[in-house]
Amino acid sequence: MNMMGNVVMALRGISSNWLRSLLTMLGVLIGVAAVIVLLAVGTGSSEAVANSINSLGTNTLTVFSGGGGRSASQTGTKSSNATLSTTDVKLIGDANSAPDVQSVSPVISTNETATYKGATYSTSVIGSTPSYLPASNYTISAGRSISDADVKSHAQVVDLGSSVTSSLFPTGSNPLGKQIQLGSSEFTVIGLLASKGSSGLSNGDAVVIAPYTAVQDQLTGQSQSFSELLVQGKSSATLTLAQSEVESILAAQNNTTVANLPFSVLNQASLLSTATSSSKTFTALLGWVAAVSLLVGAIGVMNIMLVTVTERTREIGIRKAIGAPKSVVLSQFLIEAVVISLLGGVMGVLAGLIVVRFRIDGVQPVLATYSIPLAFGVALLVGVFAGLYPAYRAASLRPIDALRYE
Amino acid sequence: MTVLTEGDRSVEHDEGSRTTGAGRHDVIALADIVKRYQMGGHEVFATRGVSLVVPRGEFVAIMGASGSGKSTLMNIIGCLDVPTSGHYRLDGVNIRDLDDRELSRIRNRKIGFVFQGFNLLPRMAAVQNVELPMAYAGLKAKDRRARAEAALNTVGLADRMGHFPSEMSGGQQQRVAIARAITTDPALILADEPTGNLDTTSTIDVMTMFADLHSQGRTIVMITHEEDVAAYATRVVRLRDGVIVGDHQQTPIHARDEHVAHVQAATARHDDRELLS
């Protein structure tokens, strides 16, 4: 008895009771589809988190002033007096005091309504230095970036985020050189930023970048200190070193220790690794939930195979009487179980691939390529394990008992 | 029809001792076969020492009432069960020494079964049912089909090859079963109450077929409790309480003159019925 003959025989057995076989396959189908979809949801949500962290910049540290973060909670009101000064910026930017720092950009941020010829758009305004753009992964698509000269001369010039551009200017028009209003002040558009794409939590394109000096002059007032410093490390490997350099400088400046620092320093790399590990846990948890449904499917296959063996006891008796050896009977029922779960697996993969195309609870699932062979392999194993015992029972039947069975 | 010899050597390991016990041309040699069961704590003897030799070419009817041990004997002869004690040699092979795998091989190569309940696989067409034992013997699909068609032709069902058992009468189903039994060209055709589920016409039909197979030189052992059916055999063995109580040769009914007219009348009736249906 060859393999093909066995498979044909198994298919005939399956189709002779197609409704029951279909329902059994449904169990495997749901299990396999659940594995694929839930792993895709896990992967999708972890990618979304990683994207939104990456949109903060590349190899960056963010220093927050004026409380907030872990130090504020530890030291209470003490932190509220501390501010980030231009001296801090100078020291952190100095290659001698902080050799692992690539650049430091002071940031003043505020929210304003941008207006151009009646069109308005509510946007966040970042007052900073030219190094802010590369550190935050902004690239210029037209015109030029703000320059050090602009900062020095308090020039009222801006680079527009793509959302702002598209909201204020009709498509086809050239915004460069045009005057827009931010609050009550006029700024000249000198550059356009390429779109970063929306990254889950925040829209990185709803932004206007201007020299911090001009923002202080026109929008927030001279007294306003920097709300944060964006520090870019030289590489991801030395980012932790850069962090400790920045922390010691700030501690020295504020006559305190690193432990009591009145600022919080957010390390993008450690944030990313924390987020990645927690989303991995989340994905694994989803995977286990899916595995449970696959297990239920396996029990269904086993159950049906036991029923099938009982129903076909007489047939087994006939086959054994006319010379079917144990191994042939065993493989016949084993193949039947494997075929059921493989068919269920194929349909499950297809169902999973369809469901993954839709957003689920605000998450765009991202198909984890390993999940298809995984789900398929598990379906195959399910078939073998669920089929083994019933097939063994069938093969061990004594032909005289089986022939007598009504 | 060719004999299935391929692979048979593995079970014919006692070739040398063949001539010492039973005669070389004996298909069945049973020596002091005892079968004992444990039933509710005490022992029950199904056979209490049965010795029987069936030479090649004989048509033996084994008769007995229920409980006489004839079913147990049939299971032992058919290699479906092994005796508690005693020796059984089938076509020169000592059955006692064989394991489960070898027993299924022996059943496949040396025995053609015909059961009371036909025992065809319901989801297979007639020709596929006939092919099944050859599939287990490892024949190629093409050869299987050719031999199955030849066997169905022999039993007069050439026009019913693709029919399923549910689409055939009892007599036709039993003829498919006979085709299945002869297609591997076995040493022994073992029939267990082959006419038990058939009407008179089909009974004559099937028994005539057995008589034909016998006249072609086949060895047939048939278990029955009906005298009418046993009349077709050349030898009748009677069992009672697990021992042989009678064993005699006879002229089979189809060789007697009065039978010819009887069959002709029955066949005419049968033809009428076929025309009507």
- Concatenating the DSSP letter of every residue in A231-245 gives EEES-STTHHHHHHH
Report the sign of the C-alpha dihedral through residues A170, A171, A173, A177, in that order. positive
Using a CB-CB distance cutoff of 8 angstroms, which residues of chain B are in contact with residue A6?
none
Summarised one tens digit per residue, pLDDT across range A149-164 is 999 999 999 999 988 9
Q: Which of A71-75, A130-134, A245-249 has the lowest mean pLDDT?
A: A71-75
Q: Are A327 and A190 part of one and the same domain? A: no
Give the residue on A whose Cα is nearest the Cα of B129.
A319
Highest mean pLDDT among A36-50, B38-52, B107-121: B107-121
Chain A residues within an 8 Å CB radius of B78:
321
Show residues of chain B in contact with A5, CB under 8 Å: 135, 141
ipTM of the complex: 0.82
d(CA B10, CA B33): 25
Same domain, A225 and A363: no
pLDDT tens per residue across span A167-194:
898 888 888 999 999 988 899 999 999 8
Residue A129 has a pLDDT of 92
Domain limits at A312?
Answer: 3-51+274-404
For residue B2, pLDDT beyond 60: no
Instruction: Work out the mean pLDDT of chain A and round it to a whole number.
Output: 85
Cβ separation B138–A324 shorter than 8 A: no
Q: Which residue of A has its CA nearest to B76?
A: A400
Q: What is the mean pLDDT of chain B?
A: 84
A192 vs B272: CA distance, rounded Å = 101
For A:380-399, CB contacts with B below 8 A are 398-399
Across the interface, of B81, B122, B136, the residue whose CB is closest to A400 is B81
pLDDT at residue A135 in the model: 86
Judgement on whether residues A65 and A210 belong to the same structural domain of the protein: yes
Same domain for A64 and A19: no
Chain B contact present for A5, CB below 8 A:
yes
Are A206 and A166 contained in the same domain?
yes
Q: Which of B26, B192, B189, B185 is nearest to B93 (CA)?
A: B26
- Residue B91: strand, helix, or coil: coil
Q: What angle do CA A250, A253, A256 make, to 5 degrees?
A: 80
Domains, in order of start, for chain B: 56-69+106-276 (3.40.50.300)
Would you call A318 and B81 a contact, using CB atoms and an 8 Å cutoff? no
Q: What is the mean pLDDT of residues B44-53?
A: 91
CA-based torsion, A303, A292, A381, A27: positive or negative: positive
Q: CB–CB of A12 and B123 under 8 A? A: yes
In sequence order, which ranges of A264-362 are alpha helices (DSSP H)?
Answer: 268-311, 313-321, 326-355
Tell me which of A267, A292, A317 is where a domain ends: A267
Task: Render A60-81 in DSSP notation, one character per residue.
Answer: EEEEE-SS-HHHHHHHGGGGGG
A276, β-bridge pairs: none
Give the A:B interface size as CB pairs under 8 Å.
61
The three-class DSSP label of residue A329 is: helix
Supply the pLDDT for residue B147.
93
Instruction: Assess whether pLDDT exceeds 90 at residue A224.
Output: no
> Lowest-pLDDT range, A74-83, A344-353, B145-154, B170-179?
A74-83
Strand duo B235-240 + B26-39: pairing: unpaired
Say whether B119 and A403 touch across the interface (CB within 8 A): yes
Residue A75: what pLDDT? Answer: 42
Which of A9, A318, A322, A397 to probe the B interface (max B CBs under 10 A)?
Answer: A322
Contact across the interface for B113 and A322, Cβ inside 8 Å: yes
A positions 316-355 inside 8 Å of B (CB): 317-328
- pLDDT band at A259, cuts 50/70/90? confident
Going by the DSSP 8-state scheme, the letter that residue B86 receives in this structure is E
Q: Is the pLDDT of residue A330 over 70?
A: yes
Across the interface, whether the CB atoms of B132 and A319 are under 8 A apart is answered yes
Mean pLDDT of all residues in B260-274:
63
Residues A110 and A191 in one domain: yes
DSSP assignment of B251-273 equals --GGGSHHHHHHHHHHHHHHHHH
Same domain, A74 and A36: no
pTM: predicted TM-score of the whole model, two decimal places = 0.69
The percent of residues in chain B predicted with pLDDT above 90, rounded, is: 55
DSSP E strands, A144-293: 157-160, 179-182, 185-193, 198-199, 202-203, 207-211, 228-233, 264-267
Residue B1 has pLDDT above 80, yes or no: no
Q: What does DSSP say about strands B235-240 and B85-90: parallel, antiparallel, or unpaired?
A: unpaired
Model confidence at A271, in pLDDT bands (50, 70, 90)? confident
The nearest CA of chain B is from the CA of A3 a distance in Å of 12
Confidence bin at B262 (pLDDT 50/70/90): low
Residues of A in contact with B100 (CB under 8 A): 325-326
Low-confidence winner among A146-155, A272-281, B141-150, B266-275 (lowest mean pLDDT): B266-275
Torsion of CA B188, B192, B198, B201, to 10 degrees: 40
Give pLDDT, residue B265: 67
Same domain for A259 and A137?
yes
Whether residue A257 is found in the same domain as residue A310: no
Nearest in space to B98 (alpha carbons), one of A120, A403, A187, A325: A325
Of A16, A315, A321, the CB nearest to B107: A321
Q: Are residues A299 and A377 in the same domain?
A: yes
- Asked if residue A324 lies in contact with residue B103, where contact means CB atoms within 8 angstroms, the answer is no
On whether both A254 and A350 belong to a single domain, the answer is no
Split into its structural domains, chain A has a count of: 2
Mean pLDDT along residues B238-264? 81
DSSP A138: -
- Render pLDDT for A64-96 as a digit per residue (tens, 0 to 9): 875 443 443 344 444 445 778 888 888 888 888
Do residues A308 and A333 both lie within one domain?
yes
The Cα A334–Cα A299 span in angstroms is: 15
- pLDDT in the model for residue B275: 55
Q: Considering only A221-225, A269-273, B72-76, B95-99, which range has the smallest mean pLDDT?
A: A221-225
pLDDT tens column, A193-216: 988 765 545 677 889 999 999 998
- Residue ending a domain, among A267, A285, A303, is A267
Among the three residues A205, A240, A267, which one is the final residue of a domain in this structure? A267
Crossing angle of helices A326-355 and A18-54, rounded to 10°: 40
Chain B residues closer than 8 Å to A16 by CB? 123
What average pLDDT does this structure show over B214-233?
92
Mean pLDDT for the stretch of residues B220-231: 92
pLDDT at B133: 93
Task: Average the pLDDT over B220-233 and give the result.
Answer: 92
- Structure confidence by residue, pLDDT tens digits, A9-34: 778 878 888 899 999 999 999 999 99
Tell me the C-alpha distance between B160 and B125, whole Å: 9
User: Are A328 and B136 inside 8 Å of each other by CB?
Assistant: yes
